Amino acid sequence: MSVPLFVGSLHPRHGLHLPTEGTPERLPGSVRRTVTTDMVRPDGLQGMLVLTGRARDLHTGDEGVTVLGEARMRAEVDDKSEELCGLWSEPDRPALRQVIGTGARSGFRGRVLAADPELPAVSSLLYQLLDDIPVTTLVSGHSRVMEARRHDDGDLARHRALFGRDSCAGFSDGGTIMAGIDATGGPPMPTGPVAPSLLTADSWGWHPLDALPPHGMRRARRTDVHAGPDPYVDVLFRDSYVRPDGQETVIHEYSVTVDIDGLARSVRSIHATPRVLPWVECPAAAASAQRLVGVPLAGLRARVRGTFTGVRTCTHLSDTLRSLEDVPELLAQAEQAA
């Protein structure tokens, strides 16, 4: 279900505001992966960024549920230098200590794989949490930009580095964001809708979630994989932000459905639906998902990273699509449990 809930005065060039409410019922024979990364600054907006991740795979059978795997992560990032100052994970992977002291954004994913090349096979859940670090570090800057804009502190120019011209549809030259930066030195303030809860009466619908504090943010992913003669996948992706008054709002949200060629483990058909995007330029990027029709799921992260660039794409849709690389593993788990 999608509900049009709005916060405050809408920017005249706001994008879609149709956030998802609740979570679909789990179906027998399916595997559900839920992944969240919370972005908080316990010592204030000028303090250390703390990323806390949690992930779980759950099989739903005719007679109950089975937890197939879990992972957790805590990363500390210096906002000014973007250096990864600390990293803890469960399962513990000692090799990952090599990436501490390096940058948390550009090149981070490559350094993770160089340090621990077996990680994706050993724990794709932990790998997904680490794979999100570069973009959650970037996205977390939203809270600081919002506060700077709210107080009109005159120092918005220092946030320019967050916005790469023509890097995606939302940052297109002449579009809402870049026009605002060119005119005022800072980006316009997105007016996101209230975040309907994803939780339902089903206590197994999501792994446990902590309450977010004001200025906190969360990236939430749900992937339902259904086995059978015609396997299919249902995905939800959401980035949210908690205003100073404690109201959680949605910044980005997509849903994606994928029909899988069960033998080739490739994309038979795909449909990406933008639910919440900040600006009018953003929704057109959803059409880029069609590039994956006929593409094998194996190696999808690298393929998306290398080819989904420029103003016809969306950074957050790309992050949604990249996670489909893990679908064959989830599908195998569902088939094995059948």
State which residues of the chain have pLDDT below 50: 1-7, 154-155, 159-161, 166
> What pLDDT is stored for residue 313 in this prediction?
78
Residues 79-105 as b/e (b if ≥16 CB within 10 A, e otherwise) read beebebeebebeeebeebeebeeebbe
Residues 6+ apart with CB under 8 A from 64: none
> What pLDDT is stored for residue 304 in this prediction?
93
> What pLDDT is stored for residue 4 in this prediction?
46
Tokens linked to 180: 């605002």
Which residue in this structure is represented by tokens 């956030």? 19
Helix (H) or strand (E) holding 134: helix 133-139
Q: Report pTM.
A: 0.90
- Beta pairing partners, 88: 74
> What pLDDT is stored for residue 237 in this prediction?
97
Q: What is the pLDDT of residues 99-146, one digit of tens each?
A: 999 999 999 999 999 999 999 999 999 999 999 999 999 899 888 877
Give dist(CA 319, CA 305) in Å, integer: 9
Residues 49-68 as b/e (b if ≥16 CB within 10 A, e otherwise) read bbbbbbbbbbbbeeeeeeeb
